[in-house]
Structure 1
Amino acid sequence: MRPTCSSSLSRRAAVTVLAALMTLSVPVTTASGAAVDGPRHRPCVSSPHPDGGPALDILRIAEQAKTEMDLKSVILRVTVDGREVITTALGESMTGVPAEPAMHFRNGNIAIAYMGTALLRLVDEGVVGLDDPVSRWLPDLPNGLGDRITLRMLGASTTGLIDYVKSPAFGPSIYADPFRQWTADELLAISLGADLLYEPGTNWSYSHANFVLLGAALEKITGKPLDALLQQKVMGPLGLSETRNSFTPDIPTPVLHAFTAERGTYEESSFWNPSWSTAPGAVQTTDICDLATSAVGIGSGELLSPSAYQEMLNPGTVGLGTPTKTCPETICIAQTEATHYGMGLLVLNGWISQHPLFFGYTAAQAYLPCEHLAIAVSTTKGPNTPDGHTAQTITQRIAAALTPDHPIPDFG
Structure 2
Amino acid sequence: MTSARSTSRSRRAVVAALTALVTLGAPAASAGTAAGDGGHRRPCAGSRLPGHGAPRDVLRIAEKAAKDLGLASVILRVTVDGREVVTTALGESMTGVPADPAMHFRNGNVAISYMGTALLRLVDQGVVRLDDPVKRWLPDLPHGEKITLRMLAASTTGLVDYVRLPAFQQAVTANPFRQWTAKEVVALSTREPRWYEPGTNWNYSHANFVLLGAALEKITGTRLDVLLRRQVTGPLGLRETRNSFTPEIPEPALHAFTADRGLYEESTYWNPSWTTAPGAVQTTDICDLARTAAGLGSGELLSPASYRQLLNPGTVGLGHATRKCPATVCIANTEATHYGMGVVVLGDWVAQHPLFFGYSSSMAYLPSERLAIAVSTTQGPTTPDGHTAHVIAQRIAAELSPEHPIPDFG
The two structures have a TM-score, normalised by structure 1, of: 0.95
2:269 is matched by which residue type in structure 1? F
Judge conservation of contact 1:158–1:201 (CA < 8 Å) in 2: yes
- Where does residue 112 of structure 2 map in the other structure? 112
Judge conservation of contact 2:79–2:290 (CA < 8 Å) in 1: yes
Cα offset for 1:50? 2.4
- Where does residue 213 of structure 1 map in the other structure? 211
Cα offset for 1:336? 1.2
- Where does residue 95 of structure 1 map in the other structure? 95
Cα offset for 1:131? 0.3
Judge conservation of contact 2:9–2:401 (CA < 8 Å) in 1: no
Whether 2:289 is the aligned partner of 1:291: answer yes
Aligned pair in 2 of structure 1 residues 299, 322: CA closer, same or farther (>3 Å)? Answer: same
Please give the per-residue CA displacement for 1:186-244, whole angstroms capped at 9, x wherever unaligned: 00000010111001000000000000000000000000000000000000000010000
- Where does residue 141 of structure 2 map in the other structure? 141
Judge conservation of contact 2:202–2:319 (CA < 8 Å) in 1: yes
- Where does residue 10 of structure 1 map in the other structure? 9
Tell me, in whole angstroms, the C-alpha distance in 2 between the residues paired with 1:120 and 1:357: 25
Which of these residues, 163, 169, 172, is aligned with residue 171 of structure 1?
169
Cα offset for 1:252? 0.2
Tell me, in whole angstroms, the C-alpha distance in 1 between the residues paired with 2:88 and 2:360: 16
Tell me, in whole angstroms, the C-alpha distance in 1 between the residues paired with 2:13 and 2:68: 28
1:216 is matched by which residue type in structure 2? A
> Percent of counterpart pairs with the same letter?
68
Tell me, in whole angstroms, the C-alpha distance in 2 between the residues paired with 1:10 and 1:191: 47
Tell me, in whole angstroms, the C-alpha distance in 1 between the residues paired with 2:307 and 2:246: 33
Aligned pair in 2 of structure 1 residues 26, 42: CA closer, same or farther (>3 Å)? Answer: farther
Tell me, in whole angstroms, the C-alpha distance in 1 between the residues paired with 2:10 and 2:109: 31
Tell me, in whole angstroms, the C-alpha distance in 1 between the residues paired with 2:82 and 2:24: 16
SS in structure 2 at match of 1:86: strand
- Where does residue 265 of structure 1 map in the other structure? 263
Aligned pair in 2 of structure 1 residues 27, 398: CA closer, same or farther (>3 Å)? Answer: closer
Matches within 5 A, 1:224-303: 224-303=222-301
| Structure 2 unmatched ranges of 5 or more | none
- Where does residue 376 of structure 2 map in the other structure? 378
Tell me, in whole angstroms, the C-alpha distance in 2 between the residues paired with 1:7 and 1:190: 50
Cα offset for 1:320? 0.4
Judge conservation of contact 2:293–2:365 (CA < 8 Å) in 1: yes
Matches within 5 A, 1:328-367: 328=326, 330-367=328-365
Cα offset for 1:20? 4.6
Cα offset for 1:14? 2.7
Number of equivalences: 404
Judge conservation of contact 1:28–1:37 (CA < 8 Å) in 2: no
Please give the per-residue CA displacement for 1:136-159, whole angstroms capped at 9, x wherever unaligned: 1111113xx110100000000000
Whether 2:305 is the aligned partner of 1:307: answer yes
| Structure 1 unmatched ranges of 5 or more | 30-35
Judge conservation of contact 2:75–2:88 (CA < 8 Å) in 1: yes
Judge conservation of contact 1:23–1:84 (CA < 8 Å) in 2: no
Tell me, in whole angstroms, the C-alpha distance in 1 between the residues paired with 2:302 and 2:16: 29
1:9 is matched by which residue type in structure 2? S
Tell me, in whole angstroms, the C-alpha distance in 1 between the residues paired with 2:380 and 2:135: 46
Tell me, in whole angstroms, the C-alpha distance in 2 between the residues paired with 1:318 and 1:327: 17
Please give the per-residue CA displacement for 1:79-137, whole angstroms capped at 9, x wherever unaligned: 01111111000000000000000000000000000000000000000000000000011
Which 4+ runs in 1 deviate beyond 3 A? 36-41
Judge conservation of contact 1:295–1:365 (CA < 8 Å) in 2: yes
Cα offset for 1:53? 1.0
Aligned pair in 2 of structure 1 residues 94, 152: CA closer, same or farther (>3 Å)? Answer: same
Tell me, in whole angstroms, the C-alpha distance in 1 between the residues paired with 2:270 and 2:8: 45
Tell me, in whole angstroms, the C-alpha distance in 1 between the residues paired with 2:162 and 2:5: 41
Whether 2:76 is the aligned partner of 1:76: answer yes
Tell me, in whole angstroms, the C-alpha distance in 2 between the residues paired with 1:228 and 1:154: 20
Judge conservation of contact 1:212–1:279 (CA < 8 Å) in 2: yes
SS in structure 2 at match of 1:250: coil
SS in structure 1 at match of 2:166: coil
SS in structure 2 at match of 1:148: coil
2:67 is matched by which residue type in structure 1? T
Tell me, in whole angstroms, the C-alpha distance in 1 between the residues paired with 2:12 and 2:183: 51
Judge conservation of contact 1:19–1:79 (CA < 8 Å) in 2: no
1:168 is matched by which residue type in structure 2? P
Judge conservation of contact 2:242–2:282 (CA < 8 Å) in 1: yes
1:189 is matched by which residue type in structure 2? A
Aligned pair in 2 of structure 1 residues 125, 294: CA closer, same or farther (>3 Å)? Answer: same
Tell me, in whole angstroms, the C-alpha distance in 2 between the residues paired with 1:310 and 1:370: 15
